[in-house]
């Protein structure tokens, strides 16, 4: 679907734009679904004349050809969050991960801890006043544009025009490349019985009038479905998808309230279907804000009844959550999880909830383990943990001793592993 009209100002081709990049330079890309695909494709086409070009990105949803083994001579890929498209490259050494909380990223560029010579961004067409929209991704791209030596914008007439803090005047761009291509999409996830049960238990902890933080995926969408019977909710999250649209259409959102100064549906990234993007186009209900607003503990602490729901891969009996590694494989970054865990903890009436199925590999492995394995990262420390939910119930760990935590977590483990967990805990503490 096309939005708006094409700009009536000068333009250059993608080839001419990428010819400005030289070996050894640092290039920042719009992240996630806003990656400027035509400019990136041309970057790949011109790779043979380029060496040691550093690319900064976050969870890109394009093909990520720049992170293949044959590209090592040409590109150094550095990422703030992993995502499915870069997982293989990161674990095989063709890209590098920068450990950070998402709320920190704008600061890196603003204070020039990370510098970009060139910014390659994607924008909607400008309106009659010359203002473009950052569209599906606001996150950290504004300080990138403010501090880059050259800003090249791919103006895509299929980029939705989102509102909030997403406006960029065309005068802030040095060169434009006109294009027209669909924004990357992901399908609506399938929801099984385990996800539905987790969602039902989680929804019981969400009061009417709450501000909800929930991400994307099958458990997230299942939770949003369960929340359609609630009243006067708002959404304040990092990323939302089609499940948030269904919640809005159900009437569960408060039509007036947005706290603080954020909107009824506040996020920094959109990832979903074409229907999601159409819903968010010029919709005053939806507010896209920078990631150092959406994930800022000073902002989150002012939101009453903030209910944060994040995912984990596994948890040990002391309450340490691993949300980054599956065995020795890095599957995610720190992301915004701890930002929201601590933000909900600072909110009056807030709750932080970590959710996951009790087992992995079709029931072969328990996600509740005696101790995290050697080399496995504790994404959420035991002092920050609050509620944990599996399909077998809720463990409330805040204020509990180690032995009390072990008992609560064992009770929500899969029955096949409960005796093993009890035995392991007794052995650790004998």
Q: How many CB atoms lie within 10 A of CB 47?
A: 18
- b (16+ CB within 10 A) / e for 239-273: bbbbbbbbbbeeebbeeeebbeebbbbbbbbbbbe
Say whether pLDDT at 5 is over 90: no
Q: Residue 343, exposed/middle/buried by CB under 10 A (0-12, 13-18, 19+)? A: buried
Q: How many CB atoms lie within 10 A of CB 74?
A: 20
pLDDT bin (cut points 50, 70, 90) of residue 259 is low
Q: Residue 10, exposed/middle/buried by CB under 10 A (0-12, 13-18, 19+)? A: exposed
pLDDT in tens, 36-75: 999 999 999 999 999 999 999 999 998 999 999 999 999 9
- Domain containing residue 220: CATH number: 3.40.1080.20
pTM of the predicted protein model: 0.93
pLDDT in tens, 74-116: 999 999 999 889 999 999 999 999 999 999 999 999 999 999 9
Say whether pLDDT at 428 is over 90: no
- Domain containing residue 22: CATH number: 3.40.1080.10
Quote the percentage of the chain above a pLDDT of 90: 90
Say whether pLDDT at 7 is over 80: no
Q: How many CB atoms lie within 10 A of CB 149?
A: 13
146 and 295 housed in the same domain: no
Range of the domain at 80: 14-179
> Taking a C-beta distance cutoff of 8 angstroms, is the pair 79, 57 a contact?
yes
Last residue of a domain, one of 132, 147, 179: 179
Q: Is 90 within the bounds of a domain?
A: yes
The mean pLDDT of the chain is: 93
158 and 257 housed in the same domain: no
Q: Is the dihedral of CA 53, 67, 121, 40 positive or negative?
A: positive
Q: Is 187 within the bounds of a domain?
A: no
């Amino acid at each position: 679907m096309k939005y708006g009209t094409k700009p009536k100002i000068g333009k250059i081709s993608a080839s001419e734009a990428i010819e400005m990049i030289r070996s050894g330079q640092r290039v920042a890309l719009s992240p996630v679904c806003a990656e400027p695909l035509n400019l990136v494709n041309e970057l790949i086409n011109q790779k043979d004349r380029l060496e040691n070009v550093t690319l900064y990105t976050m969870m890109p949803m394009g093909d990520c050809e720049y992170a293949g083994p044959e590209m090592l001579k040409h590109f150094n890929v550095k990422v703030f969050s992993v995502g499915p498209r870069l997982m293989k490259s990161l674990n095989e050494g063709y890209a590098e991960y920068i450990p950070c909380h998402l709320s920190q990223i704008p600061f890196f560029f603003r204070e020039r801890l990370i510098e970009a010579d060139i910014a390659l961004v994607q924008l909607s067409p400008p309106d009659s006043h010359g203002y473009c929209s950052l569209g599906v991704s606001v996150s950290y791209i504004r300080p990138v544009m403010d501090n880059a030596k050259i800003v090249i914008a791919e103006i895509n007439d299929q980029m939705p025009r989102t509102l909030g803090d997403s406006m960029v005047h065309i005068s802030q761009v040095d060169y434009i490349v006109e294009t027209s291509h669909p924004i990357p999409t992901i399908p609506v996830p399938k929801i099984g019985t385990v996800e539905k049960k987790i969602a039902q238990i989680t929804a019981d902890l969400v009061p009417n009038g709450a501000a909800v933080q929930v991400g994307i995926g099958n458990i997230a969408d299942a939770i949003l479905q369960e929340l359609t019977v609630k009243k006067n909710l708002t959404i304040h999250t990092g990323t939302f998808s089609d499940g948030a649209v269904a919640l809005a259409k159900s009437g569960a959102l408060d039509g007036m309230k947005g706290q603080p100064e954020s909107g009824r549906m506040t996020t920094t990234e959109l990832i979903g279907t074409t229907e999601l993007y159409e819903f968010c186009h010029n919709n005053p209900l939806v507010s896209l804000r920078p990631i150092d607003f959406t994930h800022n503990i000073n902002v989150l602490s002012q939101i009453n009844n903030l209910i944060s729901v994040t995912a984990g891969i596994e948890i040990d009996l002391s309450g340490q959550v691993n949300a980054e590694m599956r065995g020795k494989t890095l599957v995610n970054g720190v992301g915004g999880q701890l930002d929201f865990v601590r933000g909900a903890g600072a909110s009056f009436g807030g709750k932080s909830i970590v959710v996951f199925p009790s087992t992995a590999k079709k029931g072969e492995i328990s996600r509740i383990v005696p101790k995290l394995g050697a080399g496995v990262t504790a994404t959420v420390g035991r002092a920050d943990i609050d509620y944990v939910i599996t399909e077998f119930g809720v463990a409330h760990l805040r204020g509990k001793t180690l032995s009390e935590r072990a008992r609560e977590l064992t009770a929500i483990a899969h029955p096949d592993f409960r005796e093993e967990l009890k035995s392991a805990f007794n052995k650790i503490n004998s």
